């Protein structure tokens, strides 16, 4: 299911963050220096909902990145030799890139699953 109504109002750098603002939320992504925003596959994001100002977080991984991390763990012996992957605020997506991840966040809002998937942050 794709998002039905979120259009990007504004996006761009606010170092070190890359911010994407829609009519329902602002997502602040924290890419690595020089990272290709269309190829991002492992990134932290903080989302502020417009409706109530609440803040939420996740670490977003692509399926390919999870597979890479598990393969690495199988070589290093971590995570029972790479037999599992865990991240307390992890969100796994199929496609890389900030735009794709923003669409997933909008879709989670559409489905009503946003607050079940992301972790609530304390108000500042």
Residue found by looking up tokens 């399926």 in the block: 63
The encoded tokens of residue 19 equal: 């911010």
Per-residue pLDDT of the chain (124 residues; tens, 9 = 90+): 344 457 788 999 998 999 999 999 999 999 998 899 999 999 999 999 999 999 999 999 999 999 999 999 999 999 999 999 999 899 999 999 999 999 999 999 999 999 999 999 997 6
Reported pTM: 0.88
Q: What are 37-56's pLDDT values in tens digits? A: 999 999 999 999 999 999 99
Contact by Cβ (8 Å): 56, 25: no
Q: What distance separates the 2 farthest-apart alpha carbons in the chain?
A: 46
């Amino acid at each position: 299911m794709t998002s039905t109504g979120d259009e990007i109002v504004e996006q761009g750098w606010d170092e070190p963050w890359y911010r994407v603002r829609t009519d329902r939320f602002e997502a602040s992504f924290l890419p690595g220096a020089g990272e290709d925003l269309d190829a991002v596959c492992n990134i932290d994001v903080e989302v502020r909902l417009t409706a109530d100002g609440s803040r939420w977080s996740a670490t977003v991984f692509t399926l390919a990145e999870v597979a890479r991390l598990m393969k690495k763990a199988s070589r290093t012996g971590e995570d029972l030799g790479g037999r599992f992957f865990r991240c307390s605020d992890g969100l796994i997506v199929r496609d890389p890139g900030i735009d794709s991840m923003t669409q997933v966040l909008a879709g989670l809002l559409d489905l009503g699953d946003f607050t079940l998937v992301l972790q609530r942050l304390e108000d500042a």
